[in-house]
Amino acid sequence: MTARRTALIVEDESEIADLVKFHLERIGVGATVTRSGRRALELARQSIPDLLVLDLMLPDLDGLEVCRRLKEHDETKLIPVVMLTARGSEADIVAGIEMGADDYVTKPFSPRVLMARLENAMRKRGSPTAEQPSGVLRRLDGRLLIDRARHTLTCCGESITLTITEFELLCVLAKRPGFVRTRDQIIAAVHGPLMVLSQRTIDVHITAIRRKLGPLGSAIETVRGVGYRFCEDAPV
């Protein structure tokens, strides 16, 4: 039997905290609630949770600072962090993702969306790249195979040619399916002597990748105002 999964909910609005706790416990995750950012850091260090649900506006330390401190320490940096944010706060979301948060959910949220995001974050714990030893990224039930060593891409059994930049960009997104990457994170990951990427050219490359992937192109989701995400469960 595997140990019971645990989550730490850091949220000062008790109605929201209770709602998140209720839905986590329904799927067997033991949830602890605190309304204090400082307390959350203490609790996370005492007993490493499988998930941290983090509100950004807290009475003491703000959520971004909590996230920064968690990611600063080896013992807590692998805890998946999902931020709870107000709708329309793209700047906060971008800051949080760049601070190391794995995903976010905007309030008010539907339980279905919330749980899909939280489950995804817990599943990815400890396997940040989920790459086969061969260096092949197998996505969308094998319909998409990205061979990073050979620099080849197979889409529904057909070989597809991407430019170097397109290939690297697809790898950055496909490496961590389900997680949003901001444009700046993509630039930092892809940038190299052969590649100069700007905020604007990313969108052009993404359009080209989607076109080349054909029906699987919709797996690359635009996250409005934030960046892009590779969706393993896209209806493709």
Residues of this chain that bind Ca ion (CB under 5 A): 12, 55, 57
Rounded to a whole number of angstroms, the minimum distance from the CB of residue 78 to Ca ion is: 25
Cβ atoms of 57 and 40 within 8 Å: the answer is no
Looking at the chain, how many residues does it have? 236
- Between residues 17 and 231, which has the closer beta carbon with respect to Ca ion? 17
Please identify the residue of the shown chain whose CB is closest to the bound Ca ion. 57
Rounded to a whole number of angstroms, the minimum distance from the CB of residue 202 to Ca ion is: 32
Best CA proximity match to 229, nearest among 190, 182, 164, 191: 182
Rounded to a whole number of angstroms, the minimum distance from the CB of residue 229 to Ca ion is: 25
- Between residues 34 and 165, which has the closer beta carbon with respect to Ca ion? 34
Name 152's bridge partners.
Answer: 147
The amino acid at residue 142 is: G
Rounded to a whole number of angstroms, the minimum distance from the CB of residue 86 to Ca ion is: 9
Q: Sign of the CA dihedral 87, 235, 142, 123?
A: positive
- Between residues 55 and 103, which has the closer beta carbon with respect to Ca ion? 55
Q: Are strands 103-107 and 136-139 parallel, antiparallel or unpaired?
A: unpaired
Rounded to a whole number of angstroms, the minimum distance from the CB of residue 90 to Ca ion is: 18
Q: What is the DSSP letter of 130?
A: -
- Between residues 32 and 36, which has the closer beta carbon with respect to Ca ion? 36
- Between residues 12 and 184, which has the closer beta carbon with respect to Ca ion? 12
Name 63's bridge partners.
Answer: none
